[in-house]
Structure 1
Amino acid sequence: MTADGVPARVGVLGGGRMGAGIAHAFALAGAELVVVERDDDAAAAASARLRASLEKAVERGSTARTITDLEGAFTTATDVAAFAECALVIEAVPEDRTLKLDALRRVEAVAGDAALATNTSSISIDDLAAGLSRPERFLGLHFFNPVPPSALVEVVIGSATAPGLVDDARAWVAALGKTAVVVRDAPGFASSRLGVALALEAIRMVEEGVASPADIDAAMELGYRHPTGPLRTTDIVGLDVRLGIAEELHAKLGERFAPPELLRRMVAEGRLGRKTGSGFYEWSDQ
């Protein structure tokens, strides 16, 4: 453990926006990081993404460390064997059950007694744990996008998760300067289930011509004090991510989570939100 209570060496599998954000949070808390990607090009992109994020933290005064110090705290690799000395490994690959389980099994094979976490926003922890050899060392750590400014981490407990690991997870989240909410494994956990329910209804309202995306968002921002409306949040999260979670919840919880046709059509057209420059809003100039 570092002096601040985070594991001394943390691994992150997947260096995309979420993975880089998780690595950023642990780097600022004093951990050494190793980020593993699928190939050299992806590893180089992950390294550049993480460095740019850390540079912004230094510029904002979010840390007293220099960018040189922070650069020395992380490495990238293309082989999960790099996780061998980690005390905690967090999987942050795309939201697909088969992909995640394969990734977790590969990590478990080389990570010894390390704690293993998934950043899933909707996939059952127990379903994933059933395919692992040490389910007691496994739980969900659901970070929110974008990770650096987000104040919340959802700690999701599987039926086999050891109580001591839950205590450790609470301590890690606190050391990151974030707040942990602990929930049992259930479809959509707490945050995704509530967030997607609101987003789907907002999308139906656009589909029905009730109001514009901007006015629907303003209603929630000004009337209910949401910092960001459900449609702008959907653009930030990614419409494809929202659709994937909705399909998961639809299968398990029924018709109230059926994805609107507008959402399916926008995803099919590649209008995924901020990451593609267009969704319910235009992001090309932001």
Structure 2
Amino acid sequence: MKHPDDTEQALPQTIGVLGGGRMGSGIAHAFLIAGARVVVVEVNDDAVSAARGRIEKDVSASVERGKIEGTAGEWLDRLNVTTDASAFSECGLVVEAVPEMWDLKVESLRRAESQLHDDAWLATNTSSMSVDGLAGELKRPERFCGLHFFNPVPASKLVEVVLGRRTSEELREKAQEWVAGLGKTPVTVHDAPGFASSRLGVALSLEAIRMVEEGVASPEDIDLAMTLGYKHPVGPLALTDIVGLDVRLGIAEYLESQLGPRFAPPQLMRDMVERGELGKKAGKGFYSYE
């Protein structure tokens, strides 16, 4: 069991996270309870307050469940949430975790890279965008890779390490060590649309949504078919609610542009997103959440 004074040798002493939303806060929490100091950079004071609140809640839950020793306050003393990107200058690794929009990703990664010292590393948490394409927008592509975390980050045991053509062998080895240092398991893939996890996961969810759209079965029965028949821990529609229909729609549209019409989003998916039925975070998706 970890204590705030423990350090994990596999990890850089200070980790940066650009973006403190659901995923960014989860990534910050994972590195924090692994023993690193964490700097989260957000766009404004309201976003700073929201990100800190999410991380405080997750850290408190980890203490209450006995996953880490000490008090929540001791762990949170190692956290800095700010709007000042110059705080990344002290980080050995920065993970970008902003929404899945190309221009925003590029702008955010350039902003982070401009603050890093020469020995620091940079990663993106993108779930589908080209790591090679993003690397081409950076000054040091050899020090850049994908670290694709899964939602919810505290409970997930998997991180996809995505290698670009110019990712150095040193970074490949370090990235695998970092993931292991978080108590998670790395799978390593080369850059391709959707990598391994998103490509397969989205394909399954899109077909499940088409089945609902066509009246083949209810969301509950489709999910039961996969959890009981194929031993999936969560059905594809419940998982889509957890990830967010808007997030899945963005990934599907990108994969369609890269891989063709088999990834075309069903109209039902578009309609639900337009109605604000985004899943668990909105209180309604394929299921209702009180």
Q: Where on the TM-score scale, by shorter chain, does this alignment land: which range?
A: over 0.9
The equivalent residue for 1:61 is 66
CA RMSD of aligned residues (A): 1.0
The equivalent residue for 1:85 is 90
Q: What CA distance in whole angstroms lies between the structure 2 residues aligned with 1:211 and 1:252?
A: 30
Q: What CA distance in whole angstroms lies between the structure 1 residues aligned with 2:274 and 2:70?
A: 44
Q: What CA distance in whole angstroms lies between the structure 1 residues aligned with 2:10 and 2:74?
A: 19
- The aligned amino acid for 2:52 is S
Q: What CA distance in whole angstroms lies between the structure 1 residues aligned with 2:261 and 2:99?
A: 25
TM-score, normalized by length of structure 2?
0.97
Match of 2:31 among 26, 32, 37: 26
Pairwise CA distance, 1:35: 0.5
The equivalent residue for 1:176 is 182
The equivalent residue for 2:3 is none
Partner SS, residue 90 of structure 2: coil
CA contact (8 A) 1:91 1:117 kept: yes
Partner SS, residue 263 of structure 1: helix
Q: What CA distance in whole angstroms lies between the structure 1 residues aligned with 2:61 and 2:8?
A: 24
Match of 1:35 among 31, 40, 52: 40
Pairwise CA distance, 1:66: 1.9
Match of 1:75 among 80, 98, 117: 80
CA contact (8 A) 1:200 1:257 kept: yes
Count of residue correspondences: 284
Pairwise CA distance, 1:253: 0.5
Matches of residues 1-286 of structure 1 in structure 2 within 5 Å? 2-113=7-118, 114-283=120-289, 285=290
Q: What CA distance in whole angstroms lies between the structure 1 residues aligned with 2:73 and 2:270?
A: 44
CA contact (8 A) 2:8 2:34 kept: no
CA contact (8 A) 2:95 2:124 kept: yes
Q: List structure 1 runs of 4+ shifted beyond 6 angstroms.
A: none
Q: What CA distance in whole angstroms lies between the structure 1 residues aligned with 2:244 and 2:221?
A: 20
Structure 1 unaligned spans of 5+: none
Partner SS, residue 209 of structure 1: coil
CA contact (8 A) 1:183 1:190 kept: yes
Pairwise CA distance, 1:3: 3.6
Pairwise CA distance, 1:7: 0.9
The C-alpha deviation readout for 1:234-280, integer Å capped at 9, x for no partner, is 00000000100000100111111010000011011111000110000
**Do the aligned partners of residues 253 and 61 (structure 1) sit closer, same or farther apart at CA in structure 2, a change above 3 Å counting?**
same
Pairwise CA distance, 1:4: 3.8
Partner SS, residue 54 of structure 1: helix
Partner SS, residue 113 of structure 2: helix
